[in-house]
Amino acid sequence: MGKIKSAARNTFFYSLSNMLGKLSGLILLPLYTVYLSVDMFGLYSLFEISYQVIVAFTGMGIRTAMSRWYWDKGMEGRQKELFYSACLFNAVVNIATMTVLYLGFDLLAKYYFQAPVSQELRIVFVVGTLLRLFSEMPMLLLRVTHKAFLHTVHQFIQLVVFVGLTAYFLAYRNLEIYGIFLAYLISYGLNFVLLIPYMFRNFRYTYLKAEVKDMLAFGMPLAGANIVNMILNLSDRVIINFFGTLKSVGNYSLAHKIANVIDLMIVSAFMKAYTHLYYKGMNDEDSSIFFTKILHYLMILLAFVSMCFVVLTDYLALLFSWGDYRSSLALVPVLTLSVMFSGLRSVMTLPLSKVKKTKIISMISLSAGIINIIGNIALVPFVGAMGAAIATLFTQFVTSVWMYKQACKYDPETNFGGRTLTVIIGSSLLYSIVAILIKDVSGILRYASDAFLILSWPILLYTIKIIDKKEILILLGFIRKWRDPSQWKENLAQELKEID
């Protein structure tokens, strides 16, 4: 239970930092809808995808490999040399990649963006992206060494500066997406400067050539998988742009951002917190039991939140004056369900990484990209952005099942609880379908139906013994501890003492 509490605590802090990031998006969303046209927002989303692909490529798997190598028994006492070696390799690749990108921007503007890109925007995007990449390694070390609170502080500083500058550049300087990327440049530049002392304290200036070579052999397949995952995300918007307009890309991108709240708050936060804990304890006798418990709790939370998102999607229309973005709302339920399956797929990469079967992860990810592209080409010309959402859901479902089967095959010592997972995900999916089918119902009957779906699902899991009494008592204890706002400061101070 101590390990589960540690994972939950770190997940909370990473979820908090991700929540701050998403909160910044919610704060800026009204500004985006007022000061950016839908076409301009579509162009901005294509730039965002470009950044994600760059991150996946420049890492070349070295960042993922460092997470795996840092706690390896053979690296005891040599972690500072390992970190220095990874940073040096990463810096060289980052600079080379961004130089090539800048020199080839004319081709990107013509064939990818299909829109003119000013010289000023090119420079601020390239320099800002380079600073974001330089910040990756020290932020990774904070996660690897379980300094979740310090990680959250740095994230908070960067986000406050970014939100403030973006609001200023959009509302008062009318700089459009140039202002957004200028805010990225300044905020990430500041964060990197603040991280420099921490980086140098963790350097020992010896380059571990052999270890870097081994890390690349381990991480390159994962890098290929990450790149394909980015292409998976990129292909739908590119295909929508090819068969439609930047306006359609903008609407789809906004729906994707809304659905990805679940990924940021649960999946991404959990993977940041648990991955390093998993590698650190993967040789312990109880590691398989611990993983099974963690997987059980994660999927209950992910399935429940996903179902709630689907049920409550229509209520988002009450929050803002959506204008030309209103058609985004119809896409949110489908994309939300795809996040549930992508979460399962992400977690199943851990057992495969433990036994160093990263080529299988790469193969499945490559297949995911191919399936998604075929699905998009087949559906988008007929049903537009909804076709892209359906293709994404189908792709994530197929590849999550495939990844699960491979994990069971290569890590037979771990009981993944296949039947339990099927019931959890299947019941959430069934409830979500019912919620979609009754969306045309109005008035008190609609409110009652939505409330029934949300409240009855956990009762169903308790009735069929997916959740037991002990787990309910733990949850009630958590609620009692945090329900009084006057005790939050004391409780938070207690949790901070236990982080390390």
What distance in Å separates the CA atoms of residue 354 and residue 349, rounded to the nearest whole number? 9
DSSP string, 118-136: -HHHHHHHHHHHHHHHHHH
Has residue 9 got a pLDDT over 60? no
Residue 195 is predicted with a pLDDT of: 94
Give alpha helix (H) positions in 1-104: 2-35, 38-59, 62-70, 79-103
What distance in Å separates the CA atoms of residue 340 and residue 337, rounded to the nearest whole number? 5
Average pLDDT over residues 27-37: 78
User: At 261, is the pLDDT very low, low, confident or very high (cuts 50, 70, 90)?
Assistant: confident
Please provide the average confidence, as pLDDT, over all residues in the chain: 82
For residue 440, the SS3 value is coil
Six-digit token pair at 175? 């700089």
Six-digit token pair at 303? 């399935």
For residue 231, the SS3 value is helix
Give alpha helix (H) positions in 313-357: 332-354
Residue 6 is predicted with a pLDDT of: 55
Has residue 464 got a pLDDT over 90? no
From the CB of residue 310, how many other CB atoms can be counted at a distance below 10 Å? 26
Amino acid at 164: G
What distance in Å separates the CA atoms of residue 45 and residue 58, rounded to the nearest whole number? 20
What distance in Å separates the CA atoms of residue 493 and residue 488, rounded to the nearest whole number? 8
Amino acid at 190: L
Cα torsion at 346, 349, 351, 356 (round to 10°)? Answer: -160
Residue 400 is predicted with a pLDDT of: 92
Has residue 488 got a pLDDT over 60? no
DSSP state of 315: G
377 by Cβ neighbours in 10 Å (0-12 / 13-18 / 19+) ranks as middle
Has residue 13 got a pLDDT over 60? no
Q: pTM of this prediction? A: 0.68
User: At 225, is the pLDDT very low, low, confident or very high (cuts 50, 70, 90)?
Assistant: low
Average pLDDT over residues 20-43: 74
Six-digit token pair at 158? 């960067």
Residue 13: CB partners within 8 Å, gap ≥ 6? Answer: 148, 149, 151, 152, 273, 499
